[in-house]
Amino acid sequence: MRQRRRLPPTAAWACVLAAFACLATSGCGRSDQPAPGPGGEPVKGAPAARPTDPVQEFADYTLTESEQGVRAWVLGSRTMRRFADREDVDLVDVHIDFFKAGQHWSVLDADSGMVNQRTRAVHVWGNVDIRTDDGRRLETPELYYDNETGRIRNDVANRFTRGTDVLTGNGLDATPDLEYVEIRRDVKAEVADPAPAPGEAR
């Protein structure tokens, strides 16, 4: 039977001190990096937010813009998402009410959008539809609103309806009340004869 050889007291204390030193300095083969998870990413409690993850998300978001105390427009969105490295916030299901001299004048609806919280510039896309209170209508897939100039613009297809007249074409410069509308390229007009008055022959 083999006999264990006992270390001298000084050697035993040296081994204990070396073990404590190893733990204190995080050496001896231990890594500070967490073990990789199933997807190869480190796992250490809750996963850290990725750069594409929003830092804030709100439901029923509202933003109001005023000029000298008079309401100019009110933006509403079903969902707003804000990101750490951007001034623009993402919007889902966008609705904007435009006012002129404090009176409601037109409304814009779109599937998605972004608004710059500093400049108040708005970019919307997906079934963009502007309707005025007096019946004019603009339909387009994408639109930009410049809050400094108060103009709306794009470089895509547009359909503008006023009464029985329809104007289509590409590229737009207009005001949100649709009193001024300029379609720049490939313009086509469909002008319908007005309906006859009751009892009037065609």
- Tens digits of residue pLDDT in 69-121: 999 999 999 999 999 888 999 999 999 999 999 999 999 999 999 999 899 99
Between 67-76, 138-147, 190-199, the lowest mean confidence (pLDDT) is in 190-199
pLDDT band at 28 (very low <50, low <70, confident <90, very high): very low
- Which of 140 and 10 is assigned the larger pLDDT? 140
pLDDT over 90 percentage in the chain: 61
Q: How does the average pLDDT of the chain come out, rounded? A: 80
* CA atoms within a 13 Å half-sphere pointing along the CA-CB vector of 194: 6
CATH topology of domain 56-190: lipopolysaccharide transport protein A fold (2.60.450)
> What count of other Cβ atoms lies within 10 Å of the Cβ of residue 154?
21
Q: Whole-model pTM? A: 0.69
pLDDT of res. 22: 42
- Which of 149 and 201 is assigned the larger pLDDT? 149
pLDDT band at 43 (very low <50, low <70, confident <90, very high): very low
Question: Which of 20-24, 52-56, 74-78 has the highest average model confidence (pLDDT)?
Answer: 74-78
| Mean pLDDT confidence for 181-202 | 79
Reply yes or no on whether the pLDDT at 10 is more than 70. no
Reply yes or no on whether the pLDDT at 32 is more than 70. no
- Which of 102 and 199 is assigned the larger pLDDT? 102
pLDDT of res. 151: 97
Give the separation between CA 34 and CA 23, rounded to whole angstroms: 17
Between 38-52, 90-104, 183-197, the lowest mean confidence (pLDDT) is in 38-52
